[in-house]
Amino acid sequence: MRASRVALSCLLVSLAGIACSRKETSAPSATASAPVVASAPAPSGPKVDSMTFPVLGPMPIPENNPQTPEKIALGQQLFFDKRLSVDGSRSCYSCHLNEDGTGGHLPTAIGAKEVKLTRHSPVLWNVGYLPRLYWDGRADSLEAQALAAWAGGNMGAGKEKPEAKAKG
């Protein structure tokens, strides 16, 4: 056992000695035989005066659809209400989590009855009065988007009307 340790130590010392005795090769020097490459100055980007962004100001609210405390309270109540899904398992919040910036943490959303949907849940910041909603822009208002989500795979209600679900 002692002999093998001595042999291993000698081997390591020999390898270290060989590695240290190698001559360094120098990098090729720039000579007249090196090719000359012409280059234009790098293009400059736009001038940035500041790294702060302007304040956006209040969200514009259309005159024909005013924002009221009652609408805000109703929207918040509906957003978290699982009774609106066909099987009582999902609310809007199930996919649009506040903790995830109102988007989802899954690659694709899971709808009512555990149906895997085809897209990631979009973030809901500042969408209140957008002229187009959904990835393809098919809803022209938040109300139209909510009804489409209700009937589609998200909430799975099909042709049932929200009013009937609310009364039942």
69 band by pLDDT with thresholds 50, 70 and 90: very high
126 band by pLDDT with thresholds 50, 70 and 90: confident
Residue 66 C-alpha from the chain's centroid: 31
pTM value is 0.59
Residues linked to residue 139 through DSSP beta bridges, in sequence order? 133
2-19 per-position pLDDT tens digit: 655 655 555 555 555 555
Higher pLDDT, 5 or 95: 95
**Does 60 score more than 70 pLDDT?**
yes
CB 155 within 8 A of CB 90: yes
**Domain extents in the chain:** 69-167
DSSP character at residue 110: B
Average pLDDT, integer, range 18-31: 56
Q: Coil, strand or helix: which one is 139? A: strand
User: How many Cβ atoms sit within 10 Å of the Cβ of residue 164?
Assistant: 10
User: How many Cβ atoms sit within 10 Å of the Cβ of residue 149?
Assistant: 21
Residues linked to residue 110 through DSSP beta bridges, in sequence order? 116
Higher pLDDT, 138 or 167: 138
CATH class for the domain made up of 69-167: mainly alpha
Give me the chain's average pLDDT, please: 77
Q: What is the DSSP string of 116-136?
A: BPSSPPPP-TT-TT-S-BSTT
Residue 144 to residues 13, 37, 49, 107, 157: CA-CA distances in angstroms?
79, 60, 41, 25, 15
CB 110 within 8 A of CB 95: yes
**Does 150 score more than 60 pLDDT?**
yes
Average pLDDT, integer, range 23-40: 60
The runs of H, that is alpha helices, within the chain are: 2-21, 69-79, 92-95, 142-151, 162-167
**And the tokens for 109?**
């959303």
CB 106 within 8 A of CB 120: yes
